[in-house]
Amino acid sequence: MPQDQYDQQDPTRQQPATVSSGETVPHPGRTDELDREPDHGEHSYRGSGRLTDKVAVITGGDSGIGRAVAIAYAREGADVLINYLDEEKSDAEETLRWVREAGRRGVGVAGDLREESVCQEVVERAVAEFGRIDVLVSNAAYQMSQDDGLAGISSEQFDRVFKTNVYALFWLCKAAVPHMPKGASVITTSSIQAFQPSPHLLDYATSKAAIVNFTKGLAKDLVGHGIRVNSVAPGPVWTPLIPATMSEEKVESFGEQSPMGRPAQPAELAPAYVFLASQESSFVTAEVIAVTGGSPIV
């Protein structure tokens, strides 16, 4: 394992190629249920003051990419509020422990973002605790693999995917933007699925394509307010969402299709979110940064 994210090494061997024996877990999945725990940067991410005294709101911050971003932001000097589902409380508490260990304030708000009132509550709590929001990271997502493709997707599932992935983003932005100063940043989480959709994730891929379009349109809307809007598009990333939503066969071979021959670990996504939140990316807006292990998104 690297000492920190700056160590030069062979990226194809930096993280394990095989992340699971194929064992699945009940949805929504918790980190301690996985047969191999993801690397969120707990022992490798080194901060350098790039987000000193900023305030960040991260949805889906309990595990996976959300936890990695929360840890990185805290070590870069930001205070962090995370949103999570009630079933994910133990994971959320672990994330907040790492935030506080970095010397920053950490706040957790439980709730299902499919309800507009919960999205508003997340923003209101952040403003009450910190007075403003400098970075909004919309990361929470729902997917459920269906090997039958279109035939296997129920209206209930389609609705849940879009309420979690798209409606919540809209509601969060509506609530948060009035509390975001000039220089603030909105960061969405799209996916390689938005550009290379898999039939077994048809509804999820469609929602991620919507996120890309929303990101680009919102960026043009908010640029006059001094707020930048960008997206990170991950490829395969080892998180609890994978064994909680895919078959044993897909879990066992997860990430093999990447040119790197392996999935990413959440810690490998965090630097992209740090860059987009920092003033270093001051001339970057309406962009999608691909972190896909070599699979092009165009």
Reply yes or no on whether 204 is catalytic: yes
Q: Which residues contact 56 (CB under 8 A, 6 or more apart)?
A: 70, 73, 78, 79, 80, 81, 133, 134, 135, 136, 137, 277
Beta bridge partners of 237: 264
Paired strand residues for 179? none
Catalytic residue among 45, 84, 142, 204: 204
**N-terminal to C-terminal alpha carbon distance within the chain:** 32
DSSP letters, 242-284, are HHHHS-HHHHHTTTTTSTTSSPBPGGGTHHHHHHHHSGGGTT-
| Alpha-carbon gap, residue 11 to 280, rounded angstroms | 24
Which sequence positions are flagged as catalytic?
204
